Amino acid sequence: MKALVFEAPGRLKWKNVPEPVLQEPYGAILHPVAISVCSSDIHTVYGGGVPKQTNHIMGHECLARIVRLGQQVRDFQVGEVVAVPAITPDWRAADVQLLNERHAGEHFSGHRLGRTWPGVFADYFALPDADTMLAHIPENVTMEQALMSVDVMTTGFTGAEYAQIKSGDTVCVMGIGPVGLMAVAGAAHMGAARIIAVGTRPVCVKLAKQYGANDIVSYKNGDTVQQILRMTDGVGPDSVIIAGGGDEAFTQAVDMVRYGIGTVSNVNYYGGTGFLAFPKFSGGRGMAGKTVHTELAKGGRVRIERMMSLIRYGRVDPGPLVTHQFNGLDELTSAVDLMRQKPPELIKTMVRID
């Protein structure tokens, strides 16, 4: 079969590789029918990311048709098109009993597809536990919406959930790429009164407003922290969700979040090595009462089915995040190139495959 393989840093190549074999009685073999490229795929191949395995099939965002199922699978049928969660915790790991499903057993054990397992950029891929790692797509949820639920929507909502938003809160969302936009939607959904979004690209600003942002702050108009402190009478937001930006975003979030009860919720990826700076002064010299969460997206079947439930019943529509469509597995490289070039009108790609 054909697969798009991470050969070495900077090199992504089509290769002929053996088809996966069904090994587990609970497993599934799947054929992707819609794929999206993640910015983390770009980090991994083209730098910024920590070097992972080479000669590895990339990709973790897809909808797929079930081709084969293990004998013990209960809830899915061969031929069904399902959503595949980007994060697939091993629900049999003992740490799950401590509610530590995303890092159960080892760091990032929940993020294996396209990382330590062969990914979805291929004709076929395998998962070891269909009943916990696949999600049914409701009838009136579109391909675009379902595809956006598997990673960007659940990540944005994870950011909003760990921001511990209470009704009436002021929430700042830093970064309004796809994840930030879903964090805006999540914050609105969880009862934020005022949502301040930090970003500049017109296509994203427009969607941020649609998803519930009241104010848009641009670094082009001056220091981000000072602008937001002025807008909030010096108090700062009740919570700050970091969904984009470089290392300075972390420091800015701690700088501006409210003393005593403020929460910083980070779902942003910081490439490279070194440290993130926790500011001593605005951090109250260690006594400011500011909470910081650092979170990998929630995943697994029930999570993604709940995301699609929000879509199905009209609470959130992540469909407009798909700005560029392609047809056929071969076109996946065009989608990767586009994600690399990042033209201003791009948010997410979708590659449809028969």
Q: Which residues bind Zn ion (CB under 5 A)?
A: 38, 151
Q: Give φ, ψ of 335 to 5 degrees.
A: -65, -40
Q: How far is the CB of 161 from Zn ion (least distance, A)?
A: 18
With respect to Zn ion, which residue has the nearer C-beta, 27 or 119?
119
With respect to Zn ion, which residue has the nearer C-beta, 101 or 151?
151
260-282 core/surface letters (b: 16 or more CB in 10 A; e: else): eebbbbbbbebeeeeeeeeeeeb
Structure tokens at 194: 């005022």
Q: Looking at beta carbons, which residue is closest to Zn ion?
A: 38
Q: Which distant-in-sequence residues (6+ apart) come within 8 Å of 114 by Cβ?
A: 41, 56, 57, 58, 59, 60, 120, 121
Handedness of CA 95, 99, 104, 107 (dihedral sign): negative
- Rg, C-alpha atoms of the chain: 20
Other C-beta atoms closer than 10 Å to the C-beta of 179 total 30
Q: How far is the CB of 248 from Zn ion (least distance, A)?
A: 23
Q: How far is the CB of 41 from Zn ion (least distance, A)?
A: 7
With respect to Zn ion, which residue has the nearer C-beta, 231 or 304?
304
Structure tokens at 103: 């890092």
Q: How far is the CB of 4 from Zn ion (least distance, A)?
A: 15
Q: How far is the CB of 154 from Zn ion (least distance, A)?
A: 10
Q: How far is the CB of 98 from Zn ion (least distance, A)?
A: 26
With respect to Zn ion, which residue has the nearer C-beta, 38 or 122?
38
With respect to Zn ion, which residue has the nearer C-beta, 38 or 69?
38
What phi-psi label fits residue 260: left (phi over 0), alpha (psi between -120 and 50 degrees) or beta?
left
With respect to Zn ion, which residue has the nearer C-beta, 237 or 299?
299
User: What is the rounded distance in angstroms from the CA atom of residue 80 to the CA atom of residue 90?
Assistant: 22
